Amino acid sequence: MQLYYSLTSPFARKVCVLIQELKIQDQFEMIKIDPWTNPDLRQINPLSKVPTLVLNHKEVLFDSALICEYLSTLKDKALIYPTERVEYFKSLRLQALADGAMAAVGRCYAEFKKPEHLQSQDMLQRFQATQVATLIWLEQHLDNFTKNFGIGEISVACLLAYIDFRFPEQDWKIKYSQLAAWFEQVKARDSMQFTQYQV
């Protein structure tokens, strides 16, 4: 299988972390690509986004949630997705929340990179509000996290690392100390260390 990914994408990192956790690295050809500058990706994925997974029979999967769901079927799915119904949907909710916040952080960073006179303060405030609300929710709902490093926890870890990557000056760890303590533990995992963001 071929995985198209970027070292700056939290969605691609989520998939890469999952691959490491499942220990199925040897099944993939990892293809690093910049979806903004390389037109070839659009020939494979009309959205021209990472991650994009090309299966052995040439079927293509895109969207990190779908790819993660597929990858979990290659090993014991219970390692990544809870089998109990209520916990399963809590895990998917964590993933959805983290994915939405990742997108907001990414768009906030893109807005900040514009010349100041072209920046939209309304958009910046909206994206920042999404990030803050997400951190508050996560701090208040740590009991939703499972003991396993499953899809919800992987997604949240990639989000928090992405905030640190794009906005290292932020002091979220002081205000959300319980969440920060959890993150300090999980970011030391081999899967997180091996997949760190890079410019």
pLDDT tens string 163-175: 999 999 999 999 9
* Position 67 confidence tier, pLDDT thresholds 50, 70, 90: very high
* Residue 189 pLDDT: 98
* Residue 154 pLDDT: 99
* Residue 33 pLDDT: 97
Q: Rounded CA gap, 98 and 165, in Å?
A: 15
**Planar angle of CA 105, 50, 40, nearest 5 degrees:** 135
Q: Rounded CA gap, 49 and 4, in Å?
A: 9
* Residue 158 pLDDT: 99
Q: Rounded CA gap, 155 and 146, in Å?
A: 13
* Residue 101 pLDDT: 99
* Residue 74 pLDDT: 95
Rounded percentage of the chain residues whose pLDDT exceeds 90: 95
**Per-position b or e across 158-175, b if 16+ CB within 10 A of its CB:** bbbbbbbbbeeeeebbee
- pTM as predicted: 0.96
* Residue 77 pLDDT: 92
What are the residue ranges of helices labelled H in the chain? 10-22, 40-44, 64-72, 85-112, 121-140, 151-166, 172-175, 177-186, 190-193
8 Å CB contact between 195 and 165? no
* Residue 11 pLDDT: 99
CA distance from start to end of the chain: 25
Q: How many CB atoms lie within 10 A of CB 36?
A: 9
Q: All domains of the chain, ordered by start, with CATH?
A: 2-78 (3.40.30.10), 80-193 (1.20.1050.10)
